[in-house]
Structure 1
Amino acid sequence: MSEIARRKRSKGILYKRIIFLLIIIISLIFIKKYYDNSLLAVSAENPVGIDIEVPVGSSTSKIANILKSNGLIRNETVFKIAVKRSGLEGKLKAGSYALNTSMSVNEIIDVLSKGGRNNNVIRFTIPEGYELGQIAEKLSKEGIVDKERFLALTSDKGNFQDKYPFLMELEEGQSLEGFLYPSTYEIFIGTKEEEIIEKMLDEFIKVFESDVKPNIGSLDFTLNEIVTLASIIEREAKLDEERELISAVFHNRLKVNMPLQSCATVQYILGERKEVLTDKDTQIESVYNTYINLGLPPAPIASPGKNSLIATVKPADVDYLFFRTKEDGTGAHTFTRTYEEHLRAAPKK
């Protein structure tokens, strides 16, 4: 092949490459424009309200199909790409939604990620510091569980330890007191007691593994001891900023073999939240009475929340041995090192 022919061939290849590159660039510009246009509202100027129902378990593809068939989005594929780019893949929620054609794709995604009405779903909240009896009573009053069945199931960890191996660390016959995590839950109407209990155990595991276990460090406590102390802290603390201080007091007492003397443990024995305990109350014969027994009670006295669980494994670095309420309505406590300071800290009458 002559030099001229080679040059012509090289030029031809170059032109083809340039043309190919231009086609790619033009295509990308077209695709980008098409994508952006598909994100826009279907009818911003003349909005029409449309109610839709997203069934439980719907995939992003299924939701895209529902929206497209109702005239709420321009393109199903663009919707799926936008969901993935938003980081909400698998997080769009079932329910009833009142949408309209003036909403952009991103606005629709935002609404769907927050959840809509679902007439088949009910929500309940278990406050931090609730005992098993209180949980059962609350759920029973709300028509969610049969109280006696719920209590029977939670009275023995053996009913659930096959599915939850961590329960094998507890004593034989120990109840689930302290291990039903206090939070807000959504369930379907008619959900069985077993499933509700498992949902709460699942949440406990999640919080413990992500927020508590990484902070245990050199603390030589069993799982049961961590949750037991956390439950006492939960019942004693009124302010989040004091949880680590209260934890430190109890840790310091345990180190010097001093009774914890927690009013919360006596209240647990009494079965009531008695504000002022009598001397007779503090002398009740019970393994849960930390006024007459050294160390921790044999099991938790309530369901601790995340902050109390973390405070248990991360006590404040202080040498306090006492605390008492300020009785000023704030729920705050005065912390002291000696018994004499503790007495002087008594609120003035």
Structure 2
Amino acid sequence: MVRRWKMNKSIVIVLFLLLAGILGVNRYVFSLLQPVDPSGKNADVLVQIAPNSNTAQVASLLEEQKLIRSAQIFRLYTRYHELDNQLKAGYYLMNGNMSTPEIISLLVRGATASKSFTIPEGYTLKQITDSLADKNFIREELFLELLAKGQFHYAFLKNLPQGSKRLEGYLFPETYNVSLDSTEKDIINVMLAGMDKQLRELKFEEQAKALNLSTRQALTIASMIEREAKKDGDRSLISSVIHNRLRLGMRLQIDATVEYALGGHREKIYYKDLEVDSPYNTYKYNGLPPGPIAAPGRQSLLAAVQPASTNYLYYVAKPDGSHAFATTLEGHNENKRKYLQ
């Protein structure tokens, strides 16, 4: 009996020691999964995970950057949870107050660090290029080459005339967030995708066809509306003037097209400017200009294919940015006397 008790006691002691060992190992492993710097006082670290990096390479890099406590535990954790083949390449912002599981989750989700830029409505390709170049988001020469010759697979880009103005009006004005390693082509593509989304949501091509217009012609109208209108309420009215003049064979005589032909914004258009010999000059040439003159926003896109039902043929800007509209030249001249003092 005493002997059996001694044996049972030994087994209990062994089991206790094993359990204590297991708990000790678990506690140790758990401690190695904790943040290197729980205080969170250190600045974020930008980490680049190169394409085709394996788990061991990622773990070593993070350990070198003092973002994880143990590369070995990182590898064991990803393998145990079957995540070792799901870590995504890219640039990431990390901090020492992140635990190893949090870092792994970030890499699995591909939540890369990003940069943002805003393209205002009515910007031209030149303005877009200058804005991105000023932020050092692009290499200007390569960006311009891609605008002219890059391959982008969107239905609305088929059969566009070649040249530097090829994508004028096709980059949708919006605020974009892109990954830090985005290329020039990626940046152009995200803006084209923005336009594609708008055209599909608005059923733009179908509405243009109902007006006997191609998508490019309707986009050209939208771009003129964008550059002319300062108030949203005027957009469909300006659109009606454009459509009415086209229907009657009148020259559009839109100042924004003259500005575009002259190469940029003018505080004032002089009579001599109206003589600039350019197919974009709608004072000199009938019909629509060869293509868009700026990037139209959603409201201008909508106005281009949904013009107001009016007989207006003229408009003049008021001091507050809105416009006065007229059906006759006499009415237009009266508006000019009233508002252009």
Provide TM-score, normalisation by structure 1.
0.64
Large movers: runs of 4+ above 6 Å: 48-53, 94-97
Q: State how far apart, in whole Å, the 1-side matches of 2:173 and 2:340 are.
A: 36
Q: Kindly provide the amino acid, as one letter, of the partner of residue 271 in structure 1.
A: G
Q: State how far apart, in whole Å, the 1-side matches of 2:186 and 2:286 are.
A: 37
User: What is the aligned residue count?
Assistant: 240
Q: State how far apart, in whole Å, the 2-side matches of 1:175 and 1:288 are.
A: 14
Is the CA contact 2:240–2:310 (under 8 Å) kept in the aligned structure 1? Answer: yes
Q: State how far apart, in whole Å, the 1-side matches of 2:308 and 2:93 are.
A: 45
Q: State how far apart, in whole Å, the 2-side matches of 1:227 and 1:189 are.
A: 31
Is the CA contact 1:169–1:223 (under 8 Å) kept in the aligned structure 2? Answer: no
Deviation at 1:96, TM superposition (A): 7.5
Matched, 1:181 2:168: no
Q: Kindly provide the amino acid, as one letter, of the partner of residue 273 in structure 2.
A: D
Q: State how far apart, in whole Å, the 1-side matches of 2:265 and 2:141 are.
A: 22
The 1:96–1:320 alpha-carbon spacing in structure 2 relative to 1, beyond 3 Å, is farther
Is the CA contact 1:132–1:151 (under 8 Å) kept in the aligned structure 2? Answer: no
Q: Kindly provide the amino acid, as one letter, of the partner of residue 337 in structure 1.
A: T
SS of equivalent to 2:271: coil
Matched, 1:254 2:251: no
Q: Which residue of 1 aligns with 2:331?
A: 341
Q: Which residue of 1 aligns with 2:196?
A: 205
Q: Which residue of 2 aligns with 1:72?
A: none
Q: Kindly provide the amino acid, as one letter, of the partner of residue 335 in structure 2.
A: A
Q: Which residue of 2 aligns with 1:231?
A: 223
RMSD of aligned alpha carbons? 2.7
Q: Which residue of 2 aligns with 1:151?
A: 144
Segment of structure 1 superposing worse, 207-216 or 246-255: 207-216
Is the CA contact 1:212–1:313 (under 8 Å) kept in the aligned structure 2? Answer: no
The 1:211–1:348 alpha-carbon spacing in structure 2 relative to 1, beyond 3 Å, is closer
Q: Kindly provide the amino acid, as one letter, of the partner of residue 247 in structure 1.
A: S
Structure 2: which 5+ residue stretches go unaligned? 1-37, 48-91, 98-110
Identity of aligned residues (%): 39
Deviation at 1:167, TM superposition (A): 1.2
Among 267, 291, 297, the residue aligned to 1:305: 297
Among 118, 128, 134, the residue aligned to 1:125: 118
Q: Kindly provide the amino acid, as one letter, of the partner of residue 208 in structure 1.
A: L
Q: State how far apart, in whole Å, the 2-side matches of 1:171 and 1:152 are.
A: 15
Q: State how far apart, in whole Å, the 1-side matches of 2:183 and 2:286 are.
A: 40
Q: State how far apart, in whole Å, the 2-side matches of 1:294 and 1:258 are.
A: 7
Q: Which residue of 2 aligns with 1:320?
A: 312
Is the CA contact 1:259–1:293 (under 8 Å) kept in the aligned structure 2? Answer: yes
Deviation at 1:331, TM superposition (A): 0.8
Q: State how far apart, in whole Å, the 2-side matches of 1:145 and 1:314 are.
A: 36
SS of equivalent to 1:243: helix
CA deviations on 1:198-250 (whole Å, 9 max, x unpaired) are 11111111100111426446211111101111111100000111100000000
Q: State how far apart, in whole Å, the 1-side matches of 2:268 and 2:190 are.
A: 36
CA deviations on 1:22-41 (whole Å, 9 max, x unpaired) are xxxxxxxxxxxxxxxxxxxx
Q: State how far apart, in whole Å, the 2-side matches of 1:337 and 1:155 are.
A: 41
Structure 1: which 5+ residue stretches go unaligned? 1-47, 56-93, 100-117
CA deviations on 1:36-69 (whole Å, 9 max, x unpaired) are xxxxxxxxxxxx999999x9xxxxxxxxxxxxxx
Q: State how far apart, in whole Å, the 1-side matches of 2:158 and 2:209 are.
A: 22
Is the CA contact 1:238–1:332 (under 8 Å) kept in the aligned structure 2? Answer: yes
Is the CA contact 1:212–1:309 (under 8 Å) kept in the aligned structure 2? Answer: no
Q: State how far apart, in whole Å, the 1-side matches of 2:251 and 2:286 are.
A: 5
Matched, 1:331 2:324: no
The 1:217–1:280 alpha-carbon spacing in structure 2 relative to 1, beyond 3 Å, is same
Is the CA contact 2:122–2:296 (under 8 Å) kept in the aligned structure 1? Answer: yes
Q: Kindly provide the amino acid, as one letter, of the partner of residue 160 in structure 1.
A: Q
Deviation at 1:165, TM superposition (A): 3.6
Matched, 1:190 2:197: no
Provide TM-score, normalisation by structure 2.
0.65
The 1:172–1:259 alpha-carbon spacing in structure 2 relative to 1, beyond 3 Å, is same
Matched, 1:271 2:284: no
Q: State how far apart, in whole Å, the 2-side matches of 1:348 and 1:195 are.
A: 46
Q: State how far apart, in whole Å, the 2-side matches of 1:224 and 1:210 are.
A: 17
Q: State how far apart, in whole Å, the 2-side matches of 1:267 and 1:253 are.
A: 20
CA deviations on 1:243-285 (whole Å, 9 max, x unpaired) are 0000000000000000000100110111121122111100111
